[in-house]
Amino acid sequence: MLGWFRRSFLDIIDIRPSYRVLDVCADTNAVGIGLLERAPDIKVVAGDRSSDMLKVGSRRATDRGFSIESVISDVHGLLFRSKIAAQ
């Protein structure tokens, strides 16, 4: 079920070269890796509360030749400013 959901989600994302992506609750970087497979020149920042999950995700990305910046964070206290909030 989750594989289908992830594929469906990735299929509808409009990702373009040089986009910056914040993957919230990134877990093991499945979404970030999927996006990088479609657009290798984007920048992905993965946030998750679990350092163990981020380590696994970082290793998975590296094994596939990708670089994903990992940030230990709680979605409720995001320090990233959105374009919507800035308007």
- Examine residue 33 and state whether it is found in any structural domain, yes or no: yes
Decide if 60 contacts 37 (C-beta within 8 A). Answer: no
- Examine residue 66 and state whether it is found in any structural domain, yes or no: yes
Q: State the greatest distance between any 2 C-alpha atoms of the chain, in Å, as a whole number.
A: 39
pLDDT the model gives residue 74: 81
pLDDT the model gives residue 52: 95
- Examine residue 3 and state whether it is found in any structural domain, yes or no: no
**Domain count along the chain:** 1
Q: Tens of pLDDT along the chain (87 residues)?
A: 467 887 888 888 888 888 999 999 999 999 999 999 999 999 999 999 999 999 999 999 999 999 999 998 887 777 656 655 444
Domain membership of residue 58 as a residue range: 18-75
Structure pTM? Answer: 0.81
CATH of the domain at 52: 3.40.50.150
- Examine residue 70 and state whether it is found in any structural domain, yes or no: yes
Instruction: Give the closest residue to 68 by CA, choosing from 35, 46, 47, 41.
Output: 46
- Examine residue 47 and state whether it is found in any structural domain, yes or no: yes
pLDDT the model gives residue 10: 86
- Examine residue 49 and state whether it is found in any structural domain, yes or no: yes
